[in-house]
Structure 1
């Protein structure tokens, strides 16, 4: 059962393939997992420039039937030259002469979007490559629903990608708005970065929403592909799945960052939500080297927290942010 991605002419299965986890498996294992997805009818793959060798592994896996797939990637490049490098490398890695969807990665403010859309901004490259046929459609991704919603009124993006799951529902208004505008909706973080322990329940919850076009759980094992696919066939949530979701939400509600960034700015300059995102990749995804290198590249590490408590007074979820920052830093030092 294929569906259209927004107003595009891309026909996709509603369960897609997220390309983050295949960083930690071999090229041959990645091919086995991706071909299992193809065998079941999954045809949409989403990855990113920043996911180390994910693009290359995808290109290797699909090479024998590359036109079966609808391929999406993304880059945090903000200027035209850096975006040109990203798209050129993506074409080479995918081993194709076009990319179905290329997205601006993690737009976090309207000022950032205006930079991308301005003179010598990344959008110049995307539009040029689209005109030449190297890119079919242009999308946007991020964690801030209000920013993304406003972005859809500033530029005619073809798709929007945001986190959405039973724990993180803050993007629901954005996704409904996008769907009404004919913008394709792509759901990332369906398991809240691995925090939710009922994958099948989450898949059913998400795909039961009429404003969702496709969900892209990260997968690195054949068993994960099969389990997620089974969930996509019957969206009725079982009592066991429902109880698992409710139990997770109860346990996580006071100890899980939703990346709303109400805690910002930190007086010390710590990028609080970024620290917690990277810690999730370390502790739940098992991407130790990838997450650690990105944490170490942050201008201000989490241990620079002075315990002023400003962030906690502003957090709508009353999270123990200071404790969470210290734990994150300590775990990255192990």
Structure 2
């Protein structure tokens, strides 16, 4: 157990990510929550955007609310929509208050627009004052967003991808930890690209400035495997050799969502396309990924790429983005 920034919460350093709830039944969700309780995991993260995740978790948590800190999040950016989402979350989760409500996936270009009188942050402040939420956080796949959030003092937690091949948030996580901002790691297994879950978790938990990692888990066995790492997460020489190998294997064809490739002259949201392909191929969320892909504007989809190469010239990892976008089209459109 450790203190979660300055929130006053004390949490297990392995938490629970609610994305996979979408692909299992209510009965299986109950079993996962049972195992979380047995293993002492007390931090649960979900989102309005994870279809039935909030509802299933709400049903599973009845009668044991006090044993868990519950976090959820919303993509809403305006005042009225965020107010509405908070109420929906409370109803779905069947609780009187939410421990942590986060602004979900805030992009660098929109960060400065969320604080106005008619914008979402005001709704969060009012909900906090009313006791409907206890703390306010932010999540993003853009490093600039969380850097600004830490400096602003407006958010009590930040959530960002971090794993063996995505460690660009090292410095901002360190700064957040120093300032008492809680640090949450999403995508600890790089969206399933890393096969060795134990090593992936050890890599993250060996960083003292990271408060909690939230792997998605859809079976009791996965809960036991991930929490077992807490007994010893010191990296060995053999571990470091494996880590170097994983970085080498994934480093040439793995999108880290740094967003240096943007803006695309045609409007393609390149990292989002790769993210949705990952949900399709690694998370087993085929229908969900296709629906989200279709929800993108036509100009934002991979099929709108004209192969101008502007993105590849800006990618710090020299990824073959054009070919990768073709693969997105083959996966999500065909």
Pairwise TM-score range, normalised by the shorter structure: over 0.9
- Assess if the C-alpha contact under 8 Å between 1:146 and 1:174 holds in 2: no
Question: SS at 1:117's partner residue?
Answer: coil
Aligned to 2:308: 308
Give yes or no for the alignment of 1:332 onto 2:332: yes
Aligned to 1:9: 8
Aligned to 1:31: 30
Superposition pairs of residues 1-334 of structure 1, within 5 angstroms: 2-109=1-108, 111-237=109-235, 241-299=239-297, 300=299, 301-334=301-334
Give, in angstroms, the shift of residue 88 of structure 1. 0.5
Unaligned runs of 5+ in 1: none
TM superposition score normalised by structure 2: 0.96
Give, in angstroms, the shift of residue 236 of structure 1. 2.6
- Assess if the C-alpha contact under 8 Å between 1:188 and 1:216 holds in 2: yes
TM superposition score normalised by structure 1: 0.96
1:13-66 alpha-carbon deviations (Å, 9 max, x no partner)? 110000001110001101101110111100100011101111111111111211
Q: Number of matched residues? A: 332
Structure-2 separation of matches of 1:22 and 1:240 = 34
Give, in angstroms, the shift of residue 307 of structure 1. 1.1
Give the ranges of 4+ consecutive aligned residues of structure 1 lying more than 6 Å apart after TM superposition: none
- Which stretch shifts more, 305-314 or 231-240? 231-240
Structure-1 separation of matches of 2:237 and 2:34 = 32
- Which stretch shifts more, 269-278 or 292-301? 292-301
1:115-157 alpha-carbon deviations (Å, 9 max, x no partner)? 2111111111111110111100000111122221122222431
Structure-2 separation of matches of 1:289 and 1:317 = 30
Structure-1 separation of matches of 2:308 and 2:87 = 46
Structure-2 separation of matches of 1:68 and 1:232 = 19
- Assess if the C-alpha contact under 8 Å between 2:164 and 2:246 holds in 1: no
Question: SS at 2:246's partner residue?
Answer: helix
Structure-1 separation of matches of 2:53 and 2:226 = 20
The structure-2 alpha-carbon separation of the partners of 1:67 and 1:105, relative to structure 1 and needing over 3 Å to count, comes to same
- Assess if the C-alpha contact under 8 Å between 2:5 and 2:180 holds in 1: yes
Give, in angstroms, the shift of residue 240 of structure 1. 5.8
The structure-2 alpha-carbon separation of the partners of 1:289 and 1:127, relative to structure 1 and needing over 3 Å to count, comes to same
RMSD: 1.3
Structure-2 separation of matches of 1:27 and 1:248 = 35
- Assess if the C-alpha contact under 8 Å between 1:168 and 1:258 holds in 2: yes
1:58-86 alpha-carbon deviations (Å, 9 max, x no partner)? 11111121121100001111011110111
Structure-2 separation of matches of 1:54 and 1:20 = 7
